[in-house]
Amino acid sequence: MAELRKTLEHVVRAVRFFGGASSRAAQGAFMPSLRSLPGSALLFCAAVVVACEGEDGADPGTDTGTDAPVPATCSVPSGEGTVHATATLESDDAVWTAAASPHIVDFPPTIQEGQRLTIEPCAVVRFAERVGMQIEGELIAEGTADKPIVFERAGAAAWDSLRVTETGRARLAYASLSGGGALGNSSIDGTGTLVLVGDPRSAQGLMPLASVQHVTIEDSASLGVLLSQNATFSEDSRELTVTGSGSAPLRLWQRAVSSVPSGHYAGNQDDEITIEEGFGNSEIVGEATLHDRGVPYHMVAGMLVVGSSGDDRTPGSLTIEPGVQLRFQQGSRLLVQAYDTDEAATGSLRALGTAEKPIVLTSAAETPAPGDWVGITFKGTPAADNRIEHTTIAYAGGDSGISSYDCALSGDTFSNNGAVVFYGQQPASVFLTGCRIEHSARDGVVRGWTGAPLDFTATNTFVDVARCLQTFPQPPNDSCPADPPCPK
């Protein structure tokens, strides 16, 4: 019975996509079963598996916390279904039922503020070419493990997106979104199958516009997911899978980095989570974490800024988990901010790698070279809770635009360039430990402060540093040595 059950479970999962626009993953995994049995046999097998569910005493709708698939018990949509061809919902509290599936969306509807659309478990929604849904009110599409919801394309061409605006909210659970992300007039990195757009001027800052739980987004023509203008996922989001995208699985503003859910983000054109600085007051404030999600992060636009330099001096803290790789575009940097160089920093950095799972901060270039990116710059008086441990900082030392904070060597140019640059006041301690600084275009650590020459060479490894492993800080009497020490 167990072997039969296992075989039938695979077949039933194939039924889930039978008769519709199936995903590449589903076709690859289940096409042998589809070819071996006629449709009537497939439906019979589905009924047998449902009847056998009680054998193991498990509820197929329960999240068991394992990777074992739960067979879908949904009926295959038959008949013409229901056509939705207007911009408005049928009512302010509309329900799209499984029984009326497939729901054919020929014209992009808008869920307006004060309206709710609920999509039942087992419902199938099919979008026409370049047609999507605007969510200014509330979308509830919560299936279960055995009764998933399907959003897919109606034909061969990609549909648009589920687009949640600053006034909208969406809850998606046990749902698949496949074949969306049509480009239209957008660039391949300017849209996705799921798009959340907040308000950069919002007084509340981050805007959790959607909850995703056990959601799969696949075969997007562009990004899988785009989070823009302070939009984030809600804290309860988990198990998001994005695969088969024509670009990256996920692009977001830097403030939203903590909200990347657990899940799987491989199998895309670009297997990396892309980050942009944003505009306006978009720096990281409050506490944020770069979680290890199995693929690198890529700072593709602007620089990663922690803490506010505004009059409000809002503090910010960034924690980087062990195993994270963060790539920087040319000329970018990780800036730990302060209002001014003579003030306490508003930002702090905790890069907590381990010997087994080091953190890597490096160039995003296909062929990296020293100086591709600036490095980490600490402005003002570094916070006491800064910690950088078991972290590799590679191919940095590009032009920082920072000058005259340490003792200059003969022939120095304008900028203090190094993999790690302090400019302002002396840190309380050597908080870089067990780190590796390699392929710097100029110095390893720029000690740009007035005070004691704290030693960074004793606890860290330096490889292929073009000039000084560490520069010499200004003595308290402002009298630099004629020939400042420059260890190599």
pLDDT, tens only, 210-235: 999 999 999 999 999 999 999 999 99
Least confident of 159-173, 315-329, 466-480: 466-480
Percentage, residues of the chain above pLDDT 90? 75
Domains of the chain, earliest start first: 2-56 (no CATH), 77-259 (2.160.20), 283-488 (no CATH)
Sequence letter at residue 251: R
Distances (CA, A) of 39 to 17, 44, 71, 77: 12, 9, 17, 12
- Residue 174 and residue 147 in contact, taking contact as beta carbons nearer than 8 Å: yes
pLDDT the model gives residue 67: 55
Give the residue among 460, 471, 419 at the shortest CA–CA distance from 441: 419
Q: Where are the beta strands (DSSP E) in 259-296?
A: 263-264, 273-276, 286-290
- Residue 98 and residue 119 in contact, taking contact as beta carbons nearer than 8 Å: no
For the whole model, what pTM was predicted? Answer: 0.85
- Residue 93 and residue 72 in contact, taking contact as beta carbons nearer than 8 Å: no
- Phi and psi for 13 in degrees, rounded to 5? -65, -30
- Please name every residue paired with 247 in a beta bridge, in sequence order, or none if there are none: none
pLDDT tens for residues 280-303?
778 999 999 999 999 999 999 899
Q: In what order do the strands lie in the sheet with 286-290?
A: 286-290, 316-320, 347-352, 387-389, 432-433
**Cα-based angle 290, 293, 295 (whole degrees, multiple of 5):** 105
pLDDT the model gives residue 415: 76
Would you say residue 47 has pLDDT above 70? no
Cα gap 335→347, rounded to integer Å: 9
Q: Tokens for 209, please give them.
A: 């516009």
The CB-side HSE value for 458 (13 A sphere, CA atoms) comes to: 6
Q: Tokens for 272, please give them.
A: 């990396």
Cα gap 278→107, rounded to integer Å: 32
- Residue 173 and residue 121 in contact, taking contact as beta carbons nearer than 8 Å: no
Mean predicted confidence (pLDDT) in 387-403 = 96
Q: Cα torsion for 459, 460, 465, 468, to the nearest 10°?
A: -20
**Looking up tokens 């003030």, which residue turns up?**
343
Q: Residue 66 — pLDDT band, cuts 50, 70, 90? A: very low
- Residue 366 and residue 398 in contact, taking contact as beta carbons nearer than 8 Å: no
Distances (CA, A) of 278 to 28, 203, 285, 360: 39, 16, 13, 23
- Residue 350 and residue 385 in contact, taking contact as beta carbons nearer than 8 Å: yes
pLDDT tens for residues 436-479?
999 999 999 999 999 999 999 999 999 999 999 999 999 988 78
